[in-house]
Amino acid sequence: MSEQHIKVALTDAPTEAERNAARKRLDALWGRGTEFLGTEYAILGGAMSWVSERNLVSAISNAGGFGVIACGAMEPARLAEEIKATRALTDRPFGVNLITMHPQLDELVQVCLDAGVGHIVLAGGIPPGAAIKAIKEGGAKVIAFSPALVLAKRLIKMGVDALVIEGAEAGGHIGPVSLTVLAQEILPHIQSVPVFVAGGLARGDALLSYLELGASGGQLGTLFAAAEESIAHEKFKKAFVRAAARDAVTSVQLDERFPVIPVRALGNEGGRQFVSHQADVIRRFQAGELTREAAQLEIEHFWAGALRRAVIDGDVEQGSVMAGQSVGMVKSVQPVAQIIKDLVEQATVALVRQQRRMDADG
């Protein structure tokens, strides 16, 4: 086939037969993930505090994905209320994300089990063995995060049923390694449990590439945070639409004696003030005005309530506008169903083009 014919073949719209064949191939590629989640598509919603609540979670599940409630700092009674409210909006599977450092983790696990939640995501640290045991004995599945192969193997031995590997491209609290590297490090060596990729994902063809490397599905947050069904403030969503990938930066740490948990968010006045605040606190510590412990607390407390101010109140200058680097691909506020439809279509078209190239090569 000539170069011109190949170009035409690759740019022509897929035929119905090609589309059906590609969808079968996509279903096979993420079949382990859809079976594990009980969903049409192996697309999870990232658990985002103040954002991943009943409206967004149910919208993701109703559109064929897998919504996940962000428990965050909720008390057990509040979580029970949110689960009940979400179930009133969808009859499809959804999960709950629990922070391992929550002082009432055991009670929160029991709330999920009592409510019949089928998948519990343990995040924010290495999950306690007792929590994993309680979840599995209660009939639910455990999903945990792994930033390295050695921890992935350890978590599997501890009994987790699936893993999420999240790259530094993601928004919110992040690790130091990109998804590109994590995927190469972990996917070839973990076959015993489903592995979902996360961090910087905003297109179905990109997700497809990880499925072909062995992933069972993907988790997305930033795209869904700006969805129509997200309760985030209009100013928060507009900030996403305006932003470029390079605008989503990690928090700055001035002194290694005072660690700052890395968080990726859109650069704003609050971020600039945080740097000045650290410098002032360090100066006061060195002058003997503050103990080391008091200085660390002052640094940590700077962002207290900042995410809520951005998401709920719309203060995108002083609040923490957490976003992944995929924010540069958020071009408009869309319904969740359209976002998921686009992701599936992008993966489908990529598979059609892939098959056409193979056919052209004979």
Q: What single string gives the DSSP state of each residue in 227-283?
A: STT--S-HHHHHHHHH--GGGEEEPP-S-TTS----EEEE--HHHHHHHHHHHHHHH
User: Is 3-220+332-360 in CATH node 3.20.20.70?
Assistant: yes
pLDDT at 6 over 80: no
pLDDT at 48 over 90: yes
Return left, alpha or beta for 163; rule: phi > 0 is left, psi -120 to 50 is alpha, else beta. beta
Task: Return mean pLDDT, the chain.
Answer: 95
DSSP state of 218: E
Task: Specify the domain boundaries for CATH 3.20.20.70 within the chain.
Answer: 3-220+332-360
Q: What is the mean pLDDT of residues 301-319?
A: 95
pLDDT bracket for residue 9 (50, 70, 90): low
Q: Which pLDDT score is estimated for 10?
A: 60
Q: Which pLDDT score is estimated for 5?
A: 46
Q: What angle do CA 19, 93, 125 make, to 5 degrees?
A: 105
Q: Which pLDDT score is estimated for 4?
A: 47
CB within 8 A of 142, min separation 6: which ones? 120, 122, 127, 132, 135, 136, 159, 160, 161, 162
φ, ψ of residue 130 to 5 degrees: the values are -65, -35
What DSSP element (H or E) covers 25? helix 16-29
Q: What percent of the chain has pLDDT over 70?
A: 97
Question: In the structure encoding, which two tokens stand for residue 241, read together?
Answer: 């639409």
Burial of residue 228 (CB within 10 Å: 0-12, 13-18, 19+) is middle
The Cα–Cα gap between 183 and 51 comes to 27
pLDDT, tens digit (0-9, with 9 covering 90-100), for 344-358: 999 999 999 999 999
Q: What is the mean pLDDT of residues 63-80?
A: 97
CB 119 within 8 A of CB 139: no
Q: What percent of the chain has pLDDT over 90?
A: 94
Q: Which pLDDT score is estimated for 1?
A: 43
The Cα–Cα gap between 56 and 89 comes to 10
**Dihedral (C-alpha) 35, 41, 47, 48: value to the nearest 10 degrees?**
180
pLDDT at 12 over 90: no
pLDDT, tens digit (0-9, with 9 covering 90-100), for 131-184: 999 999 999 999 999 999 999 999 999 999 999 999 999 999 999 999 999 999
